Structure 1
């Protein structure tokens, strides 16, 4: 079954896009002379999609392993080409695990399964970008946001 979304112009350079789940997201971009932003840029949303896809995998896999962590985040950095159309030619995905008794072997296994087997967005990125991954362990600390 194919996914279908509808993106509707909201005026200026702002758009509202739906999702097969029924949720909506606002997209825009930097506009010269306008300080206010209403949404996310489409390219940054691609990086968020990559992080979200892999994060869902990792947490799901850790749950199945009965592995408890205190906190988790993914930082994704993308480098755009200089020429138009600009696209991400390289992407770094950094997995951060927080906890007092982290099982590094299980965390690494969860990341590897996501990266190599389950994350479809990761596979899409590999079609046009060099993707590098790394894991950072924060033993005895919790993410403060």
Structure 2
């Protein structure tokens, strides 16, 4: 896997993935784009969501929507690393099984989500979920 990051101006940078997709990041407290730390947090949520949706689809659960609300705490001193991350999955569907959602979230957290598992070596990562009927 490869990527590049190029300085644009001020504290803005454009990051380009090896697959050719680009995103602007802002080191000036996210004024013109997500900050690098916000990107890490969003990557953890995206990675876990991919797992949860895939697992629920394989279990033939009638899911229409999957959102994950992420909250994080950072150290007070430099480097201001994440100390805690919480992921709250909101699954919407018709008759979605709580057992299947719980299993999907647990499998993502413990086995499949590379980003979350990598962060979990130095950050307290927690998960919960809610199911909404549509």
The residue that corresponds to 2:22 in the other structure is 24
Deviation at 1:93, TM superposition (A): 0.9
| Partner in structure 1 of residue 106 of structure 2 | 112
- Mapped pair 1:127 → 2:126: no
Q: CA deviation at 1:64?
A: 1.2
- Checking the alignment, whether the CA contact within 8 Å between 2:105 and 2:127 is kept in structure 1 is no
- Structure 1 runs, 4 residues or longer, greater than 3 Å off: none
Report deviation, 1:99. Answer: 2.1
Q: Which runs of 5+ in 2 are unaligned?
A: none
Q: Does residue 1:5 correspond to 2:28, yes or no?
A: no
Matches of 1:30 and 1:68, distance apart in 2:
42
RMSD of the TM alignment (CA)? 1.4
Distance 2:92 2:35 in 1: 29
* Cα offset, 1:66, TM superposition: 1.4
Matches within 5 A, 1:1-145: 3-30=1-28, 37-140=31-134
Give 1:63 shift: 1.4
Gaps of 5+ in 1: 141-145
* Higher strand proportion (structure 1 or 2): 2
Tell me how far 1:65 sits from its aligned partner: 1.3
> Number of matched residues?
134
Q: How much has 1:11 moved relative to structure 2?
A: 0.8
Distance 1:85 1:76 in 2: 21
TM-score, normalising length: structure 1:
0.87
Deviation, 1:127, is 1.4
Whole-Å separation in 2 of the counterparts to 1:104 and 1:111: 11
Matched residues in 2 for 1:87 and 1:56: separation? 25
| Structure having the higher Rg | 1
